[in-house]
Structures are given as structure tokens and as C-alpha cells.
Amino acid sequence: MRVEYSKQFVKAAYKLTGKYKQSLKRTIDQVILAQDIKELTNCIKMVGFENSYRLKMGDYRLILIVKIIENMAIFELLLSRGEIYRKEHEMNLRKKDKE
């Protein structure tokens, strides 16, 4: 699967340290090697969204927007568990999900 990253995702990824940075690399590699979204472990479709999926990574959550037609995954958000479900992030994600 082809992978792209949002600026917000890259900025958050640089702040990670230690085991989380290694875990993020493994997760990205797993997405790249996957032929379909169903092959990913800990990947759950988000309720109320068309193309958004959540990946668990310890205390962090990765939000993917998957464009099935183009076989592309866009890493949109990387936030802590408590932060990811805030209303402001949800509203921004809804806009990007429909694009």
C-alpha cells in the first residue's frame, strides 16, 4: 500500500522517543506491506467515518485515512489516547475524511 503523511503527523512522530518510535516504524512498515486494510492488526474502522481507521500503538493512536481506489493510506494524526477523541480533532478529521 502506498503511504503519505500529513504535516501534523510528521511533527508528532519526531517528538516520539524510545519504544514508541520503534513501534511507529514497525506499524508503518506493516501498512506498507499490506495489500488490503483487513491485513492490519489492531486496525478498526472509526464509527461515523467513511475512510478513517484507527491503529493502536501503546498509549498512542494513529489515525489513517485509506483511499481504497488509489490503494493509498494517509497517516493523518498521531496523538495520545486522551487527546485523539477531542471534538476539535474529530471535526478536522471529518473534513479530511470526505475529501
pLDDT in tens, 37-95: 888 888 888 888 888 888 888 888 877 777 766 788 888 888 887 777 777 777 777 77
Domain count, the chain: 1
Predicted model pTM: 0.80
Q: In what order do the strands lie in the sheet with 72-80?
A: 2-5, 72-80, 60-67, 52-57, 43-45
Domain of residue 18, residue span: 2-98
CATH of the domain at 88: 3.30.2310.20
**Could you tell me where the beta strands, DSSP code E, fall in the chain?**
2-5, 43-45, 52-57, 60-67, 72-80
